[in-house]
Amino acid sequence: MPRRWYNVVPALSRAPEKYIDTETGKPITQEYIERLWTKSMAAQEFSLERWISIPQQVLEAYSMWRPTPLIRAVALERYLDTPAQIWFKYEATSPTGSHKLNSALAQAYYAKREGHSRLVTDTGAGQWGSALALACQLYGLDLTVFMVRASYHQKPYRRYLMQTYGATVVPSPGPMTQFGRNTLAVNPNHPGSEATAVTESLETVRADESARMAVGAFSNHCLLHQTMIGLEVREQLAMINSEPDYLVASVGCGSNMAGLVTPFMEDKLNGVDIQMLAVEPDACAPLTRGEYRLDFADAAGKGPGVYTYTLGHDFVPPPIHAGGLRYHGCAPLIGQMRHENIIDAVAYPQTQVFDAGKTFARLQGFLPAPETCHAIRGVIDLANECAEKKRAATIVFSYSGHGLLDLEAYGRYNAGELRDVEVEMFFSELKTKAATV
């Protein structure tokens, strides 16, 4: 198991985009960021060290399930009749079922070490929330989770899981914050979004000196912790004298993608031929449909702003089943790498995505999360391309999480009830609406 995280920042050709303070219009201060996050996270966020040592207690916690296996999808290869080798990095063995625990444990550990008593966070479908709930339980911290209201009511399983680990879970928007109360006054049935949950988290942290915010994606430090994925893949491929031709991951905000690809970034920038492919839902696709510009991480525009690919911070994604990918923007580091054409991106409608996931489950046994199904869809198309070109490429993808708590969506897909969003119509309506406001 790796004992250091890999920081890609020094390897890139330019410094990451600066976070802008909404109120001053200037880059945020050290004071600003340390009031929001723990000092350690603020330090890691701007670190220029290539390697950052993992604390012993975090290594011990990782050993609950790490290293995770790198598995060859032989049945899928046979089914596709492709000369390509398909490997998946199986992050679903984590106690909470996804890669999210890699960063949750680190953030909770540092918060405890700095003497904080409480963390606050946002969660969509609950992957991140359940990971942080376990981490806070292990290190003895209180946790408040703002969970997107629609998921809170419609997907109670991950809520029960967070509560079993001891977290306080509230729906967003909700009555706990001024922003939540205002939002509900205008629309009592507001379904919430990742962005409303971020806004409420910010407000809550600013009102409680002992609290700090933990983030499940977006920030450089969160992406840093996820490099466990790619670092292990490197070592595992080295053991069989292999190297990747393609690295594929789904992207919501980008922590999963960055975790897989950044440990290979220096190779790529030094000329090794590795294609890095991000796969998005077409209904919420900042990398393929968004713009690279200054935007906010939260819905209210009260948090820091930063340059990245975005659909606009007030974009409310249509209801698709990959809850973890329903975010208007992407992590600034991912945005930068996309902007510089280091990573490629492709988007698919959700029925094609579930079709890929079901095929995978029937062949390999493991039921992938809807988020992971996106990567699988991309991999299947790459493997078919390799079959046409008779190319024995090595494709590696991140199996970011299992789909056991998403079986409702599979049930709907099996029953033929799942529909694709009419993306062109959705986006043109959105533009018309924006123009008339």
Q: Quote the CA–CA distance of 128 and 159 in Å, as a whole number.
A: 11
In this structure, are residues 344 and 219 in contact, taking their beta carbons and an 8 Å threshold?
no
Which range binds a copy of itself by CB under 8 A, 131-139, 261-269, 291-299, 392-400?
131-139
Q: Quote the CA–CA distance of 371 and 182 in Å, as a whole number.
A: 32
Contacting residue, 210, 407, 419, 426, with a copy of itself by CB under 8 A: 407
DSSP codes, 243-272: --SEEEEE-SSSHHHHHHHGGGHHHHHTT-
Task: Compute the Cα dihedral for 186, 191, 192, 194 and give only its sign.
Answer: negative
| Number of helices (H), then strands (E), in the chain | 20, 14
397 near a copy of itself, judged by CB under 8 A? no
Which range binds a copy of itself by CB under 8 A, 159-167, 221-229, 273-281, 300-308?
159-167
Least CB distance to a copy of itself at residue 399 (A)? 12
Contacting residue, 5, 109, 165, 179, with a copy of itself by CB under 8 A: 165
In total, the chain counts a number of residues equal to 437
Q: Quick one: CA torsion of 97, 102, 104, 109, rounded to 10 degrees?
A: 130
Contacting residue, 49, 114, 291, 408, with a copy of itself by CB under 8 A: 408
In this structure, are residues 247 and 327 in contact, taking their beta carbons and an 8 Å threshold?
no
Least CB distance to a copy of itself at residue 26 (A)? 42
Rounded CA Rg of the chain: 20
Per DSSP, the three-state class of 103 is helix
CA angle 308–48–138, rounded 5-degree value: 85
Residues 338-377 that bind a copy of itself (CB under 8 A): 358, 361-362, 364-367
Contacting residue, 89, 159, 374, 377, with a copy of itself by CB under 8 A: 159
Q: Which is nearer to a copy of itself, 415 or 437 (CB)?
A: 415
Residues 59-118 that bind a copy of itself (CB under 8 A): 64-65, 71, 75, 93, 95-97
Residues 237-276 that bind a copy of itself (CB under 8 A): none
Binding site for a copy of itself (CB under 8 A): 64-65, 71, 75, 93, 95-97, 134, 137-138, 156-161, 163-166, 358, 361-362, 364-367, 402, 404-405, 407-408, 410-411, 414
